[in-house]
Structure 1
């Protein structure tokens, strides 16, 4: 390896590592801002939050890696151009394309690594993240119960315990039941208890032992009644149920299942797409068979006689061709057929639409494995010549330029992906739209950098406007 190659690689690797971790930190802060209400101040252990952040950071690689490649390539060649090192390289007979070759090898290695990461490591990280987030959102009550503190996580109840064991056993339980809004709560005291969830996850069962329940009956009228009814009931064991709908399980990430598409590798996505395709074909076949069964040609002589009859022409008003005695029966039969079709359509239509959306989503996720790798190469061929043209290093102009181009890339990708999910664009074309649109720009910038174009030189444009102004003045 030549010294110039080693110099270029060192000049690229340092800003790449720095920008990668800076971008990852910023994206991680966005994640914390999104889930801060469910994580901070709710009694979770620090390692639970740290683990959740660790798995969430894996999903941010798809944005951090391309942006880091773009920014570091601009900074590398911008610094070389600002320090006139790029001029020295070119004066030694090394063109810009040759100078980019060692970095291109590094980018290709990053491309292969990003593909392997997105195909093997990212699905597992998404599965871990989804399952942990599901547990945090749906089992957070066990985290929220703190000894000596009233907890109001379940609407209508206030729960307090004196102590809590590591296995989840609660001691010294006090429950205030005020869900009836009658200003007269029910009080339940128990020596110990344990929390469990039902199989469907809709209710929380608190198994209490050795306790007593106090209840005061509300007044039946607005008049004062000196004879209030106060009841006290002791129990050895009881198991009150609490509604868990307030925890809103529908808001939980739907990717918290192992069969979710973002949690599958390429082989798993292909198998799922084939399965969905077979299910869609089955739905279509059953719908066609059911519909065609209602439209049969009843012809007694067809296939049973040698006599040939000319087909009968029907007018616009079919009832005119039906005998008077059969018109009522024909209308009733047609009405029954149409009502049967209308009853089955609500089942066929939504199911077919759902399967089509899932197939489109699997195709998008399949192509996403490759677009992440391709984006590194594309943005490198944008950033490297761009840095050679602007000839500015550091974190000023390169950051603004890199963020601008990355926003263009991200917006194009997001809009195309949304159009594909709505069925307005082919999913394969949608995932590669940004690469198709920006590839001519990369080729144009590479050409301009090769010929030492002053594309972003302000002085060049000032001199150009001065010349045009003088020419117009002479003509006038």
Structure 2
């Protein structure tokens, strides 16, 4: 049963975290508006669409940065408790340091469950709305959602390429489809433009050229327009992280299983997004322990020293998270190990700091 001291700390925990979000999210919105207001006015975007975009923006970035906001908020209010000698009074009353941590764990549990639900269901929808708006209205006149070249392996022996792709019109440019037999190229299709037909689940290729590689002679086919059926979906032409971020946990799991059967070379990228949905809430507990251990003692420099230490730890955590996530996507390192490595390292750090804090 919660005591008065538990309710007091828990209320401070949740209130400070909420205030931290309410302070920084509007700042992010103001910065985003200042960068994009010219394009919004130029394209005469409806106010309603802009408001929906910023609702999605808020959910997307609150989920992305919530561990850091949580970490800094815990350091902030725990440092105030320490500076006011409230922690000394609590521990002097006979309450153990472990018992003192109980309301912190309850707060971290509440925040983690909320973050887990958001990551599974709300954030994918917000990510889709956020990125759709950006690529439709804010990425230049051609409205392509990816300017760099897009390569995909659609099964064991087939590869596709487009120079860029418009998700909203389901149109790609400079399309290439190659089919191999082992390491031997047996067929290549080129088209200036490819468009997906939702009604017939087929593709229309413009300025179509096909070369079938023969043992002695090649067979060439050409036409101004050709309708073909291919064993890939329009989502195979979208940026891989973007696709994964817009799916709920069930959809993402099914998508990963389908792509694994097709031998998709980008499977690690999808797995990184999948595992992060689980690792992000766990980081709330680890960062809470570190924040309490760092800020629970009264320091000569006051709250500023605790905040400086906290910011250094927070940026180190972000660095580890980004570096190992990228390593999993670009190398042979296991995505599971890469995603959970920062939590493991900082979990050990949390245990060490907690032992010293108890002393």
Contact 1:66 / 1:375 at 8 angstroms: preserved in 2? yes
Deviation at 1:24, TM superposition (A): 2.1
Q: 2:261 matched to 1:356?
A: no
1:381-460 counterparts in 2 under 5 A? Answer: 381-391=289-299, 396-451=304-359
Q: 2:277 matched to 1:369?
A: yes
Pairing partner for 1:267 from 242, 250, 265: 250
Deviation at 1:29, TM superposition (A): 4.3
Contact 2:294 / 2:310 at 8 angstroms: preserved in 1? no
1:47-446 counterparts in 2 under 5 A? Answer: 47-137=48-138, 200=171, 254=238, 260-280=243-263, 355-357=264-266, 359-391=267-299, 396-446=304-354
Q: Deviations over 1:218-276 (max 9, x none)?
A: xxxxxxxxxxxxxxxxxxxxxxxxxxxxxxxxxxx94699x921111222122111111
For 2:333 and 2:169, how far apart are their aligned partners in 1? 44
- The structure where strand makes up a greater share of residues is 2
Deviation at 1:80, TM superposition (A): 1.4
- Note closer, same or farther for the CA distance 1:392–1:134 as it changes in structure 2 (3 Å cut): farther
- Note closer, same or farther for the CA distance 1:265–1:69 as it changes in structure 2 (3 Å cut): same
| Aligned alpha-carbon RMSD (Å) | 3.1
For 2:311 and 2:27, how far apart are their aligned partners in 1? 13
For 2:357 and 2:255, how far apart are their aligned partners in 1? 46
Contact 2:79 / 2:303 at 8 angstroms: preserved in 1? no
For 2:58 and 2:29, how far apart are their aligned partners in 1? 6
Deviation at 1:365, TM superposition (A): 1.0
For 2:304 and 2:67, how far apart are their aligned partners in 1? 19
Q: Deviations over 1:49-76 (max 9, x none)?
A: 2322221222112333111211121122
Q: Deviations over 1:410-459 (max 9, x none)?
A: 000101011111124211111111111111111111111111xxxxxxxx
Deviation at 1:30, TM superposition (A): 4.9
Deviation at 1:392, TM superposition (A): 8.2
Contact 1:130 / 1:256 at 8 angstroms: preserved in 2? no
- Note closer, same or farther for the CA distance 1:5–1:402 as it changes in structure 2 (3 Å cut): same
Contact 2:245 / 2:273 at 8 angstroms: preserved in 1? yes
For 2:256 and 2:19, how far apart are their aligned partners in 1? 39
Contact 1:134 / 1:256 at 8 angstroms: preserved in 2? no
**Larger CA Rg, structure 1 vs 2:** 1
Gaps of 5+ in 2: 143-167, 174-192, 194-236
Aligned to 1:17: 18
TM-score scaled by length of structure 1: 0.52
Contact 1:255 / 1:262 at 8 angstroms: preserved in 2? no
- Note closer, same or farther for the CA distance 1:256–1:450 as it changes in structure 2 (3 Å cut): closer
Deviation at 1:391, TM superposition (A): 4.8
State the SS of the aligned residue for 1:264: coil
For 1:449 and 1:130, how far apart are their aligned partners in 2? 44
Gaps of 5+ in 1: 142-196, 204-252, 281-354, 452-476
Q: Deviations over 1:379-401 (max 9, x none)?
A: 10110111113558997444333
- Note closer, same or farther for the CA distance 1:263–1:105 as it changes in structure 2 (3 Å cut): same
- Note closer, same or farther for the CA distance 1:201–1:255 as it changes in structure 2 (3 Å cut): closer
TM-score scaled by length of structure 2: 0.67
Does 37-46 or 388-397 show the bigger shift?
A: 388-397
